Amino acid sequence: MNLLTARLANSPVAARVAPFITFLALTFCQDYFGDAGRYWFYLAKTLIGAWMLWMVRGIVQEMRWKLSWEAVLAGIAVFVLWVGLDQIVPTERELWGKVGAAGANPGSPPPSLAAAWNPLAQFGHGTGWFFCAVRVLGMTLVVPPLEEVFYRSFLYRWIARPDFAAVPLGQFAWKPFLIAVLIFGLAHNEWLPGILCAAFYQGLVCWRKRLGDAMTAHAVTNFLLGVWVVWRGAWHFW
């Protein structure tokens, strides 16, 4: 056991928070490396996220994939909601754009922040397909355990009680449910689908009394969404 693993093992909070915060920090940085560089940065970020999950696999005992029909159906339902609400509910970027247009906008983001994430347009059909695969695999296999461990295993229980480990994983309470669902939803550009999907995933955890079903549902949603993005050219979802 190396020093980092030992420190994570001695801190139940760090083991559940550090991988997510690291991944989130890298996400904020990726658009500052140019239109081509951000794809390579995403690849590096995904590998780092996978490595951190591997580091905590024996520490975070609830981080175990569980395949169930409830998880698959929930994942499909969230995907349908995510795509179905597109163009109906304004995204956070659209809402903030309206606010920004109403007043002065000091400074401007780098050009890549406004560019669509479209590997095929950026690289063509060779390297482009590689980065499509990287994105779909990352959002299917790496993002779900990172987010579910943070939001469902840590944040929900920590809101219920600072000694979060003493709170059963499947215990339901309205306050942590609503707060965690809102935080998750507002952390996504598609805020309303984000809120609804968080309610589905947290409901699964409370119902099945385990995290693995939510991880699977999240993976199903993200995989279907990734396929939809590439198939339909709906790059705005990325």
DSSP 124-190: -TTHHHHHHHHHHHIIIIIHHHHHHIIIIIIIHHHHH-SSGGGS-TT---HHHHHHHHHHHHHTSSS
pLDDT > 80? residue 102: no
Q: Is residue 194 part of a domain?
A: yes
pLDDT in tens, 139-173: 999 999 999 999 999 999 999 999 999 999 999 99
Q: Is residue 120 part of a domain?
A: yes
Angstrom CA distances, 59 to 5, 15, 88, 121, 209, stand at: 9, 7, 42, 41, 19
pLDDT-based confidence at residue 98 (cuts at 50, 70, 90): low
Q: Is residue 5 part of a domain?
A: no
pLDDT > 50? residue 5: yes
pLDDT-based confidence at residue 108 (cuts at 50, 70, 90): very low
Average pLDDT over residues 217-227: 98
pLDDT-based confidence at residue 109 (cuts at 50, 70, 90): very low
Q: Is residue 147 part of a domain?
A: yes
pLDDT > 90? residue 39: yes
Q: Is residue 56 part of a domain?
A: no
Domain total in the chain:
1
Q: Is residue 23 part of a domain?
A: no
Q: Is residue 196 part of a domain?
A: yes
Q: Which residues of 123-136 are buried (b: 16+ CB within 10 A; e: fewer)?
A: beeeebeebbebbb
Q: Which domain holds residue 139?
A: 65-96+114-237
pLDDT for 113: 44
Q: Is residue 36 part of a domain?
A: no
